[in-house]
Structure 1
């Protein structure tokens, strides 16, 4: 799928030579240890670098040069996965061989170099007006979660169940830590990102791996750096409370349940847990959806998800506030059915088919190929999609039942409307 070359210690280039696309896609991923402080600073940094630099000091000026480069798209985002915080520069540009004009690729690479290595500085720091503007933008993004009650309830549950654990650290950081970020601190974080972070560079398109690797080495000149981002796995500790109820001005109750499992991403049973989650609540044919939403008509939505990096499974449901106890009972009943191996052929076959279809659909886009490979390359030395597909194919109902038996319910969090504050 991807050919990998090392251009400096801790800096890898992964190239997928393919005629599948008429564009060339790049992703430069800067990986560092996930902490509240780093997530907060690096989210601001992603904004600052995206919207202004020394050569193109305004967002308008940058947009104009992108338009001149045949509508090249460029954006920087911040995300998290496991113990890592990731700042990614994403670029999509037309392939030179489809143009009468040559040299567009070199111009795009030069622009990427400018964005990363020529920030808009003033007296050795980021320009103050830009720093303040982007800091405020990140604060507003964090505050916006309060208006999306499902996301807010999930975050509150994580904070209560797993305080100080990477699972509870938002990718954008926290308001408190964003407020503490100074221009000096941000510049220090920028220097650390450029000089110390582990870097994975992806390129997808009708390009030769050796050629693009040489270009990237020439333009970016990344220095050697230590390669160990991996921190020891953080132990899941039993929450201080097994049930928490909170109230907000809202009509629909939000039920969120946290389960622990010893099966994580690196476990050989990881594909089994993916199927277990799909059978239980990952899809519209799953037990939770069919039995709680359709048969009982008591949930506006209900689903489960599996956070494999940490060994966590979540069940989410939107219900009337007075139905919390019944909903929890029904969720646990459906989980018990899975634990007993009471899984129909249709449930198993449809889950396998949907997992395969999701994977193949993701591979239909260059960005999807990059994301899949970056996520799964730790599973096997030379990851190919067929590796996962073959693992899913071999999973039996008994395998799923055994995986489900290792789940333990650790916390039930319920966000209720204030008009229903009789809920206790």
Structure 2
């Protein structure tokens, strides 16, 4: 899928030459172990680098320069995968091959170099007013979660089952952590990106591989890195022995979030089987949870499950009336029990395999998705291809799915509702 090159120790370039797109997509991804403090620093740094650099005095000037380059796109972002925080710099530009005489790609690489290697500094520090402004922006982003009750409920579930764990740490950190970020920490983190963090560079487009490699080496002289990332995940159990929490807010629809644990993770040989097992459990519109909880019993406004493979967790989310919490949990439990006892039809299996396959193939319609999929799956196998992964699903049997279901164990029930709801037992 991608051709690979080691530019320096800990710095790899992945290029996918394809005539599928008229644009070229570029993505730099720096990874380090995820902590609350580091996440906050990196989230603020992403904002600061996005909106200030030494070459362009204002953000408006910088945006105009991008517009002049046929509407090139350039932005920083932060996220997380498993135990790692991801700091990324992304760009999309028109391919020179579709222009008459202009060389836009080199200009975009120059801009990428500028925002990364030439930040706006005064006496060796970032501009304090900009730092203050961007800290406030990150805080607003964190606080916006409280307006989205589904996101809030999921975060509260994670905080109860995995406190002080990567699973419950936001890619933006916390409000106190962001407030505590100093200018000195931002400068130090910027230096860490340039010299220490594990770095993967992705390029997708109709490119000459050797030429694009030379451009990267010319514009981005990255040094060797010594940090080794630990990819294996540790499946842990909640420290909250109660197993149930009901919280009340001023709201109408109840949010039911259930966590299940499994020893099967992204790095397990059985991972493809668990993907299908989750699909049948609640991953799609033909799943047991959707068909029985939402369609047959009309008990939920929405109901589905998701498999967080990097943490060995499965989540069921349902929007229900507050007085239906116990009934809904019981009915969801019954769907898992049915699977554990082998109540799985050929139709459910075939539909799930088809849906997973289509989902993965449709993602390939986007260059950005190709990068994201490969960035994840290459941790298992750098020779990953969609075709090879689909083949793994095609061989999964009903017996294997039943065995997988038996490895799923309910861990915690979190319910968020208005005042009309079950008591917190």
Give the TM interval when normalised to the shorter protein: over 0.9
Kept after mapping to 2: 8 A contact 1:321/1:423: no
- What is residue 166 of structure 2 aligned with on the other side? 166
- What is residue 344 of structure 1 aligned with on the other side? 345
- How far the C-alpha of 1:181 sits from its partner, in A, is 0.6
- What is residue 250 of structure 1 aligned with on the other side? 251
- What is residue 291 of structure 2 aligned with on the other side? 290
Deviates more, 1:272-281 or 1:45-54: 45-54
2:392 pairs with 1:391:
yes
Q: Give 3-state SS (helix, strand or coil) of 1:263's partner.
A: coil
- How far the C-alpha of 1:358 sits from its partner, in A, is 0.8
Q: Give 3-state SS (helix, strand or coil) of 2:302's partner.
A: strand
The CA deviation string for residues 114-171 of structure 1, in whole angstroms up to 9 with x for no partner, is 0111111122111111111110000000000001001000000101111011101111
- What is residue 132 of structure 2 aligned with on the other side? 132
* Pair 231,393 (structure 1): closer, same or farther in 2 beyond 3 Å: closer
- How far the C-alpha of 1:235 sits from its partner, in A, is 4.2
Which whole-Å CA distance do the structure 1 matches of 2:303 and 2:61 have between them?
46
Kept after mapping to 2: 8 A contact 1:165/1:234: no
2:336 pairs with 1:356:
no
Which whole-Å CA distance do the structure 2 matches of 1:23 and 1:381 have between them?
24
Which whole-Å CA distance do the structure 1 matches of 2:233 and 2:381 have between them?
19
Kept after mapping to 2: 8 A contact 1:10/1:198: yes
Which whole-Å CA distance do the structure 2 matches of 1:354 and 1:57 have between them?
49
Matches within 5 A, 1:112-151: 112-151=112-151
Kept after mapping to 1: 8 A contact 2:281/2:288: yes
Which whole-Å CA distance do the structure 2 matches of 1:31 and 1:17 have between them?
24
Which whole-Å CA distance do the structure 1 matches of 2:214 and 2:31 have between them?
22
- What is residue 307 of structure 1 aligned with on the other side? 308
- What is residue 64 of structure 1 aligned with on the other side? 64
Which whole-Å CA distance do the structure 1 matches of 2:394 and 2:372 have between them?
22
- How far the C-alpha of 1:234 sits from its partner, in A, is 3.5
Q: Give 3-state SS (helix, strand or coil) of 2:260's partner.
A: strand
Which whole-Å CA distance do the structure 2 matches of 1:232 and 1:207 have between them?
34
Which whole-Å CA distance do the structure 2 matches of 1:144 and 1:36 have between them?
18
- How far the C-alpha of 1:338 sits from its partner, in A, is 1.1
Which whole-Å CA distance do the structure 1 matches of 2:105 and 2:137 have between them?
32
- What is residue 371 of structure 2 aligned with on the other side? 370
Which whole-Å CA distance do the structure 2 matches of 1:381 and 1:68 have between them?
37
Deviates more, 1:187-196 or 1:76-85: 187-196
- What is residue 216 of structure 1 aligned with on the other side? 216
The CA deviation string for residues 297-329 of structure 1, in whole angstroms up to 9 with x for no partner, is 110111100010111111111111111111110
- How far the C-alpha of 1:77 sits from its partner, in A, is 0.6
2:196 pairs with 1:196:
yes
Q: How many positions carry a matched residue from both structures?
A: 424
- What is residue 55 of structure 1 aligned with on the other side? 55
Which whole-Å CA distance do the structure 1 matches of 2:83 and 2:211 have between them?
33
Which whole-Å CA distance do the structure 2 matches of 1:262 and 1:232 have between them?
12
- How far the C-alpha of 1:58 sits from its partner, in A, is 2.1
Matches within 5 A, 1:231-250: 233-240=233-240, 241-250=242-251
- What is residue 326 of structure 1 aligned with on the other side? 327
Q: Give 3-state SS (helix, strand or coil) of 2:325's partner.
A: helix
Q: Which consecutive unaligned segments of at least 5 residues does structure 1 have? A: none
Kept after mapping to 2: 8 A contact 1:9/1:227: no
Q: Give 3-state SS (helix, strand or coil) of 1:291's partner.
A: helix
2:389 pairs with 1:410:
no
Which whole-Å CA distance do the structure 1 matches of 2:94 and 2:204 have between them?
12
Which whole-Å CA distance do the structure 2 matches of 1:62 and 1:32 have between them?
29
Which whole-Å CA distance do the structure 1 matches of 2:327 and 2:165 have between them?
30
Which whole-Å CA distance do the structure 1 matches of 2:424 and 2:79 have between them?
36
Which whole-Å CA distance do the structure 1 matches of 2:423 and 2:405 have between them?
34
- What is residue 108 of structure 1 aligned with on the other side? 108
User: For the aligned residues, what is the CA RMSD?
Assistant: 1.2
Kept after mapping to 1: 8 A contact 2:73/2:93: yes
Kept after mapping to 1: 8 A contact 2:233/2:265: no
Which whole-Å CA distance do the structure 1 matches of 2:343 and 2:225 have between them?
51
Kept after mapping to 1: 8 A contact 2:82/2:233: no
- How far the C-alpha of 1:227 sits from its partner, in A, is 4.3
Which whole-Å CA distance do the structure 1 matches of 2:235 and 2:262 have between them?
11
Q: Give 3-state SS (helix, strand or coil) of 1:266's partner.
A: coil
Which whole-Å CA distance do the structure 2 matches of 1:352 and 1:96 have between them?
40
